[in-house]
Every structure is written in C-alpha cells, then in structure tokens.
Chain A
C-alpha cells in the first residue's frame, strides 16, 4: 500500500498525458453515438476526420471561402441537411444544395425557370399545372421527375405545422399529383394565384424540392438526410457535401450537373466551397483583409473604411462607397402597440412620426449609409409602381416628414399639454411615456430616435429585454424597432402583415405585430390576394385603396431601410452582383445564392 501511494504522484503526469491524448483524439472526430431505435431513419454521419482525410487538395484560387451560419463561432446544424426539419435553416447551407422550381431576382425583376419549365393557372386560379424540365438527375443518379414535386407538396400538406413551409402549403393545397413524369397538377382549396410565386426562390422565401426516393417513408421532423458515405444529402444542385463539422462545411463541385449539361448556365468555376461559421465583426474584417475569405456576413458601415484601406480588392454591391451594400427586403419601423392607449389614437402615432428627423437618423445612426423608408416595403423595381400609385396619399400623409409644430398640434388635439419643463402630460397630469424595445442590432439607429423623441418632451425608456421576441409577438409591449418580411415584387405580402382576419386565405394569417385591425382594409387585402399578380392596374388601385386606410392610421412608423453590407473579395473571384450588374442580391444566406455561384468568375485562369 505504501509503495502504491509513493507511486501515485509519478502516475498523475501519465494520467495527464492520457487525458491530453484523449483530447487530441476527440478533436480529430469522435465516432457517432448509436442512434435510438426511433431514429433509425437518421443516418449516421461519417466522422469529420475520416471525411476530411479523404478530401482532394483544391488550390485557393479554385476554392470559394465564405463565413455564414453557426452560433458563437461554431456550426450547430452540421449534421442536419433536411431543410424542412424545424431545427434547420436554409441560410446555413441548404440554400446552395436544394434547387427550386424557379428563381426570382427582384433586382433584375426576372423569373428564371429552373426545375420547372413552365406553369399555368386555370381561369380562377384554383388549379396550377407545372411542367417540369426533362433530363434532370439527382446527385445519386436517379432521375428527377414530376413525382418529386408532387411528393414534396403532398408531404408538406400532410405535415403542416410540423415542418418548415408546411403551414404555407397546407393553407392552399388540396392535392398535388403527378399527371405524367413531367406534369404536376396542384389543386387548391381556394384560389391561389400567388402559389407559384411562394414556392419560387427569392430572398428567404421558397419551397425546396426534395427527392421522393430518399424522403419517402422518413419522419421529416427527425430525418437528417446526412450521410457522406451514401452521398447524402441528395440534391439536384452542382455541389455535394464532402465534410461537415462544427468548424466548417465543405462542398465539392460535382463532376456533372444537369443545368450545365443542358447549357442553361456554365458549371460553377469554384471546385470547392468552404463555409466557415460567422465570426465577430473585427475577425471577419481581418479575414477579408488577409484574403482568408471571399465574403462574409453584413458589416457596419464604419468597418469598410478600415477594410478598404488595407485591401484594395474588397468591394461591395455599391462599390467602395456608401451605402456599401444593397437594399434588403426588411425596412425598419418603430412598431407601436395600437391596442392600448394612448397609442391606440392615430393622432398620437402621427405625432411620434412627425417628431422624428429621419435624415438625422440616417446620418448619425447609420453613418450616412442608409436611406429613409416611406412605406414598410422596399422600393424594388417591381414594387415602384405601387409607390407611384400611392404618391398622392404619400404627399398628404408624408411618412418622412419632420414637423414638430404639426406634431405638437396633434398631441394637443389628443388631450396632451406641455408643462413648464417642456414635458408632455396627459389630462391626469401624468407624463407621456413610451417604453420602446431596441434590439441590439438596431441600437445605433434606435437610440437616435429615442433621443429625438426625448428632446420633443416624451419620456422614452429604451430597453432590450431578453424576452423581446416573446413580448413583441404576444403584444406585451408599447413600441419596438423591427423590420418587415413582406413584399419583394407583389404588394400582397406586405399588406397581409396588417390584416387581422381573412376570408380568402384559410387558416393562420401572418403575425400582426402592431395589433391594428380594420375590417375594410382586410377586405381589400383579400381582394388583392385573388387578383392575378400581373393584373397591375387593378393591383395598383387596390393598393391605393389599402393605403388610403393604412396611411391615416399609421399602424407602424416607417423609419429607414435596411442594407446588406457584404464585403466582396475580388482577389480570387469577380463578377459579383453590383449596382451596375444587379443580376440578384448577393447574400450567401439567401435562396438565390446559387445564381451568384454560377456567375462568379475565377480571376486566375
């Protein structure tokens, strides 16, 4: 016993060494844990080290490196390649793997038919016939057909709220059948003239077509669709996943791809894509400066000055000048909870709007790299006609106007008075208080608005509560800065954000964050919904009618646009989408990013 105790200290370092070795082995990839019986359909992925060891070498000038996805510097969904699972997010890689029936670029206002060759609605838009393209093969060699499309729609209809896009499809689709190998007939429960638009890829909206022979019989809520050894995920895209771990996702170009074979586009010039997890602003800037990456996530305007100074090859959608990016589809407003006094009074909401000096918000809050938003949808080319149609109303109800005198009059009309200290008080002698939620990423502009309102005599309390989302969506708030995931080419989607009920669309409607309701407005939006997307005169009139209700009521207060400021590195790749060449928006996380990949040109031939 004594001998053993004496030996103990000398064994401890050995133990430490063993632990160190275990650590190293762990870092090189641990074998997958056995899956429970219920997850039998969940494929066991190859260990990262095994997969990595078998990778071919690809030179940097044929490798496209980007930062996108992850939480706290690590990918968390690296084994999840079923884009319909609720834990999945197409922004993290599925967007460049699974292809759509069609792409739509709002910048070019152009629809590019892809897996579908054409589509046609019947007269009352209760049926949609889709002709699929012939000669397409999945990455495992199986032929793609109308069966895959019908299966995708039918599955989403059955699964509903259990999977992503399930509710959106379930609301409309009564049945989806493959009439023959290249024809899909979709029958709707109600007229659905926007269904094809919904399923086409644009920004973050679109339905991914999945292979029936892989997804059939699987539980879509738990199926991961990942097994590198089997060549999963199986898609029709030009890339295959060859390694996926917390540190990186690696995609290699397939030997052949149907779209290149059919002469639709050239094969992407990059042989490999390396997707690193998002890093902090400064690390990302450093990675662009040192050419470690070709693109990253959106950056602050001020960061570009440093990047431009140190790397002449970095550019943006707007070139090397402000606003250093392009208009996103998410204009920012100050939402006001219209269900509680005093903000249930449109005069008070308009007073808030008139107190805000928006050019100053742009100048100070966004360092000049932004523009004022007039309506809660972006002024993209296909939406400009609707701005024009409501120009008379926008003159009458100028959402960009800074006019404290007018605002003062409105507050007086609403029963408020200014005390000797310049503070607004209600009839009971209480100060006019505004508790406003300012999410961290909108801090810079939000706090400018807060200060402007304070200077006008309103007691404003900004905060960023940890349960912001919960309270905001449940209406437990007074005011909040937030954006709009609405229209990009058709006015319906933005108008629908403010409806409280719908007779045209069954089931759930979109969240009405400002809790505003108007029966007449709902009726107009329902009419917009059943109007074909290309019946512009009627849509313009209906939009005008809707704005005639919306603008006087001002359910939320438009402030500024949101810009995606992405650094594009031209050291290895050129032909990025820019203001001069706006073939699509450049976000690597959007569903149209495959279009950017096939357009990029290698600098070194």
Chain B
C-alpha cells in the first residue's frame, strides 16, 4: 500500500468529517427556534417556570452560550470546540456537559448495536452461504424468502410490530427501557438477566431486519464462486464437502460482505436511533431524539458529530485493512 494513498485517504476522511460537521452545525439552526426560549416556555406550560423575567433570562443565556453572536463566529467556535473534542454544555440541561451525556448513553448503544450487528452478520452470512450452496437441504432454503421480506422492513417498523406482538398481545417481553423500572443496578445474575431480557426486542428488531440483507449478498457471491476454476479443481481433488464449503467457497465469497460492513454501519446507526426511541432504550438514539425535541443544538451536534466520526473512521479503517484481508487487492499502481 502506497504511503501517498494512505495520506490521501486520511485527507478525504477529514474533508468528509468537516463537511458533515458543517451540515450538522447549520441544519438545526435552520428551524429558527430559540432553544432557551423553548425550554423556559415548555416548563412554563407545565408550571415549572415563571414567566417573570423570561426575556432577561433568555438574553443572559444567549450570551453565555454564544448564541447572540453572528452565525459565522458561532461556526468557527464550534469547529474549534469539536477539534478539541469539547461539545460544550447541554442547553436544555445546563450545567450538564454534552460529553457526560454521551458517556452515559454510549455504552448502551455500543452494546446493543455491536452484539446485534455481529450476530446478524455471522448468522446472515452463514445462512446466505447455505442458501447459495446447491446441496443445502430444502427446508433451510425456504427460510430465504421470509428473511428477505424482513430485510425490506425498516428496523423501527419491525420494532413496532414486535412491540405489539410480544409486549402487548402476548406480554412475553417488556415494552421498553434498559432494565426493569425501579430495579437497583447491582452487578448480579438477576440484574444481568434483566438487562438481557430488556435488550431482546430492540436487538431482534435490528437482527431480523439485517440477517436477510447479509444472506442475500452472501448467496449471490456463493453462486458466483461456484463457477470458479479453483472450485472445480478442489472438487476434482476429492476434498470433503465441508472443506469445499468453508475453505473454498465461503472464504472467497465473504470479502464483499466485509466491504458491506462499513457501508451498513451508517444505515445501522440511523436505524438504531429510531429503534431506541421505540423501545425507550437509554442509548445515543434516545439522547438524539430528546435533544431534537428540546432544540438542544449542542447535544444534537455532539451526538451527530460522534456518529459521523465513528462511521468515517470505520470506513477508513476497513479501507486500509482491505489489502490485509485479501492479498489479491493492492493499492500499488
């Protein structure tokens, strides 16, 4: 891999981050809403704030948050802040820092997404390989249709259907939350089981919707792989069915799936935001939803910027790792 390529690729990464961060700055401000006014009026509506001096409070905090300055100055401050990893304070929950809110929410999302993503990747890829393998039993092949249909449904919609079926209709699974309301978060088996119990529905929403996609891609590649010379040669050598399937067909067919991992990451995060909202799961999706509802610019900026960097970094790393995974690929000219 040429050094120049790495530099160029990192340069692209930084440009993408800057572009996305800029959109992230300007987009919420297009609404023209005043976040401090929104917060105070919302509280006045439920009685938690008095209307006396509201205008003075709004002016004071606009100065404090720099919202009274021209937009371009706010923009430069924002770029400086994110470069330092400082996402400022939450406007709606001042003096809570955005970074602390991210710290609390992130592990939930990382846990939910990584586990469901990896399971869906491995199960979907393996099932896809079986679907594309001619000697797979017919009853396994029949799974392909339903899984493909589930793949066409957005995560959150699948989540709503499952919520109705498993939480409201048969009442097998909880309707939301990270763990049982009122439970003390003590590290013991009971609590761990409760955690897993509450994660089943949101994780299944992502899992079921994703498996079909992975299976479809893998199946297509398996079909292509079977016509390759090395497959015919391996078969002629009398290698076992298992070796042919795992070492020759699957091994060669899996590479585009790895590329797909990076591409799906963005879709996964955006979809998971809504899944978390549907299930009131305490991750960054719920945090982002709350921040949008509360016009909390700084939290929206923090969450979205963090997501952009995560996706950008994952894509960059995968791009750089690709030649390592497949020696046939080289960025050398």
Contacts and interface: CB of A to CB of B under 8 A. Distances in A.
Nearest to B276: A72
Interface in A483-528: 483, 485, 497, 507-511
B185 to A, nearest CB: 5
A42 B213 CA distance: 48
Contacts of B277: 72
A404 interface: no
A310 to B, nearest CB: 14
Contacts of A89: 43, 48-49
A57 B111 CA distance: 30
A19 B151 CA distance: 25
B110 A72 contact: no
A86 interface: yes
Given A79-B96, A439-B45, A165 B181 contact: no
Contact of A39 (B59, B92, B95, B293): B95
Contacts of A276: 181-182
B85 to A, nearest CB: 12
Interface in B154-182: 175-179, 181-182
A109 interface: no
A73 interface: yes
A470 B33 contact: yes
Interface in B104-118: 104, 106-108, 110-112, 114-115, 118
Nearest to A92: B48
Contacts of A165: 50
A223 B94 CA distance: 10
Nearest to A223: B95
Contacts of A49: 185-187
Contacts of B235: none
B17 interface: no
Interface stretch (A184-192, A208-216, A245-253): A245-253
Interface in A66-88: 71-74, 76-77, 79-80, 85-87
Contact of A52 (B44, B185, B280): B185
B198 to A, nearest CB: 10
A28 interface: yes
A19 B111 contact: yes
B122 interface: yes
A74 B47 contact: no
Nearest to A483: B45
A24 B178 CA distance: 11
A501 to B, nearest CB: 14
Contact of A161 (B42, B45, B59, B95): B59
A203 interface: yes
Contacts of A246: 104, 282
A529 B111 CA distance: 59
Given A22-B111, A27-B178, A73-B280, A161 B92 contact: no
B83 interface: no
B312 to A, nearest CB: 20
A224 interface: yes
Interface string A26-51: 11111011001001001000001100
A55 B289 contact: no
A30 B104 contact: yes
Q: Chain B CB within 10 Å — which of A74, A283, A508 has the most? A: A74
A292 B182 contact: yes
A276 B181 CA distance: 7
B205 interface: no
A161 B37 contact: no
A169 to B, nearest CB: 10
Interface string A426-466: 00000000000001000000000000000000000000001
B147 to A, nearest CB: 21
A122 interface: no
B99 interface: yes
Contact of A23 (B47, B111, B175, B286): B111
Contacts of B57: 86, 161, 166-167
Nearest to A21: B111
A222 B61 CA distance: 13
A274 interface: yes
B50 A485 contact: yes
Nearest to B327: A1
A72 B177 CA distance: 10
A583 interface: no
A473 interface: yes
B226 interface: no
Interface of B: 31-34, 37-38, 41-57, 59-61, 64, 90, 92-97, 99-100, 103-104, 106-108, 110-112, 114-115, 118-119, 122, 175-179, 181-187, 191-192, 195, 277, 280, 282, 286, 289-290, 293-294, 324-325
Interface of A: 5, 12-13, 15-16, 19-20, 22-30, 32-33, 36, 39, 42, 48-49, 52-53, 55, 65, 71-74, 76-77, 79-80, 85-87, 89-91, 160-162, 164-168, 171, 203-205, 221-224, 243, 245-248, 274, 276, 279, 283, 287, 292, 329-330, 439, 466-467, 469-470, 472-473, 482-483, 485, 497, 507-511, 589-590
15 contacts: A16-B118, A19-B118, A22-B110, A25-B107, A27-B107, A49-B185, A73-B280, A87-B96, A287-B181, A470-B33, A470-B38, A497-B51, A508-B53, A508-B54, A510-B52
